[in-house]
Structure 1
Amino acid sequence: MGFWAAVALPFIYVPLILRGLDTSSMQLTVAVLIVVHLLALIAGHRYNAD
């Protein structure tokens, strides 16, 4: 689960960054998504597709 979340999350926060970080709520949203992405990378680092 963590591996696939780490793969999918950039498709969500990259468009948000490109849209602009004008408001503090947008900045917080992107920051939270990046932290969730890092946690997904940690959780999925042992993914082994046998």
Structure 2
Amino acid sequence: MQDAYGEFLEHIESVSGGVDYAVIHRTLNATRIEIASLETTPLYGQGGKCA
């Protein structure tokens, strides 16, 4: 798990293009919040019959 986390951080650093760690942290936090909100929002038309 620790190796996977290290690889994840390396990927984030390379994708960010050398942006400050505070910016990376805020971006990841905002992304986490958006993903968490998707878990609570029902998907449009999921499970319903077509008319």
TM-score bracket for this pair, using the shorter chain length: 0.3 to 0.5
Query: Relative contact order (C-alpha < 8 Å, sep 6+): which is higher?
Result: 1
